[in-house]
Amino acid sequence: MNFRSRTVINILLVVVGLGAGSIVVERQYLAATPSPLNTEKVADPLRVEMVRPRRITVAQRLQTNATLEAFEEVDIFAKVSGYLSEVRVDIGDHVKAGQVLAVIDVPEMKQELAEAEAQLESKRSGLESARRQVDHSRANSVLQNALAKDREQLGEGRGFISDRTLDQVHADADIAKADLGVAEANRDLAVHQVDVAAATVEKIKALLAYTQIVAPFDGVVARRQVNRGDLVQAATATRATLSAGSLFTVQSINTIRVFCDIPENDAPHVHVGDLALVKPAGFAGQGFTGKVTRFSMRLDPETRNMRTEIDLPNPQEQLYPGTYAMVSLEMDRHEDALTVPTAAVGSDSSGSFVYSITGKRVTRLSIHTGLTDNSRIEVTSGLSENTPVVASATTAPAVQTAVEPEIVREET
């Protein structure tokens, strides 16, 4: 091949290479340049979960510890000293009011009663004698007065009766009157002596009645601390110092008192009749419904708590005094209150608020709130029942953000 042919071939190769390069560059340019037929793709709006306000019953609730106690409890003591001859009941026995629980043998007191009754009969006999003496003295006084009057009539202007005799007659009348006064005084004394003797007899009978230890009310014997033959002493001190030395403890448990302490901040909200749920230990969480029955209307200066009682009917006697329990109180109960989840409510220096959607954009609504109960908060103003709110105020988009609302169903 000559030089000219090679030159022609090289020129052709250069031309072909330039053409291929221009084609590649053009294709890259066309690929990078958008087609006039394509339109810009718009991003989907944010989806926001919404909840609807609901009307429910809300209350200010308080959880506190409690103790179950008998409705009535009494430690029974002896009022006379002696030896127990009978013990008729044991722990767990049901007793009726007036039922004899034990008997104290005091033989010397029976002898005292016999002597006192004999003394009473003697005083009554003396009273009868004093009364007869009064009757005799009264009759004698009447007689002497009549004789004196007759003698005066005989002696006036006739001289049948001497002055000395008249003086004697008047003296006899005065003596009879004095004797009547003494007889009446003796009778009054005898009356008082009979009263004293009768009181002594009644006193000994009352003491003898105390030899029978009886139940003061219907209940259950919760404690027995004596046996037959034990020497018991008459109680002379207070219950606090003698509780360990009582003969029996009787409890009335048809109704149980539930004692709990209300903290200072919650005390003003407690009212008689407030609903209470009592969960005693040992019942696997089973609750017993009652109501606040009474409270002390004072706070303990040391604990700043107020003693509150709840009465629970216990006809089956399944609740025992001394049991620990948890109490849930409902205070300031509001029926048919408009509520939203607590997560839906936010707050700042301007107050409480919720987020809602208007025209598919986020808006803020100022509200006033009331009670908070079980993850829901009461809305007292600023919100309509038909206005859904954003489920979470903390994660809500900024105000005026375009969103796609999605109503979610809450668990009831």
CATH number of the domain at 344, please. 2.40.420.20
**Token pair 């003491």: residue:** 207
Give pLDDT, residue 193: 92
Tally of structural domains, the chain: 2
Asked which of 210, 242, 263 is the last residue of a domain, the reply is 210
- Cα 362 to Cα 390: distance, rounded to the nearest angstrom: 9
Contacts 24+ apart (CB under 8 A), 392-399: 392/49, 392/343, 392/344, 393/343, 393/344, 393/345, 393/346, 393/353, 393/354, 393/355, 394/343, 394/346, 396/48, 396/355, 396/362, 397/46, 397/48, 397/362, 398/362, 399/355, 399/362, 399/363, 399/364
Confidence of residue 110 (pLDDT cuts 50, 70, 90): confident
The verdict on residue 390 lying in a domain is: yes
The verdict on residue 389 lying in a domain is: yes
pLDDT in tens, 366-406: 999 998 888 999 999 999 999 999 999 999 999 999 999 98
> From its phi and psi, is residue 308 left (phi > 0), alpha (psi between -120 and 50) or beta?
beta
- State which amino acid sits at residue 195: D
Comparing 93 with 110, which gets the higher pLDDT? 93
Q: Reply yes or no on whether the pLDDT at 38 is more than 50.
A: no
Proportion of the chain above pLDDT 70, given as a percent: 83
Confidence of residue 30 (pLDDT cuts 50, 70, 90): very low
Give pLDDT, residue 6: 55
The verdict on residue 268 lying in a domain is: no
What is the chain's mean pLDDT, rounded? 85
Asked which of 170, 193, 210 is the last residue of a domain, the reply is 210
Q: Name the pTM for this structure.
A: 0.64
Asked which of 210, 245, 270 is the last residue of a domain, the reply is 210
Q: Reply yes or no on whether the pLDDT at 44 is more than 60.
A: yes
Proportion of the chain above pLDDT 90, given as a percent: 58
Residue 184: is it exposed, middle or buried by C-beta count within 10 angstroms (0-12/13-18/19+)? Answer: middle
Domain that holds residue 168: 107-210
Which of 7-11, 221-225, 345-349 has the weakest average pLDDT?
7-11
Query: How many alpha carbons fall within 13 Å on the CB side of residue 405?
Result: 19
Give pLDDT, residue 244: 59
Total Cβ atoms within 10 A of residue 270: 18
The verdict on residue 323 lying in a domain is: no
Give pLDDT, residue 3: 45
The verdict on residue 188 lying in a domain is: yes
Give pLDDT, residue 154: 62
Confidence of residue 35 (pLDDT cuts 50, 70, 90): very low
The verdict on residue 202 lying in a domain is: yes
The verdict on residue 146 lying in a domain is: yes
The verdict on residue 305 lying in a domain is: no
- Cα 307 to Cα 326: distance, rounded to the nearest angstrom: 15
Give pLDDT, residue 143: 82
Give pLDDT, residue 336: 92
Confidence of residue 15 (pLDDT cuts 50, 70, 90): very low
- Cα 353 to Cα 367: distance, rounded to the nearest angstrom: 5
Give pLDDT, residue 409: 81
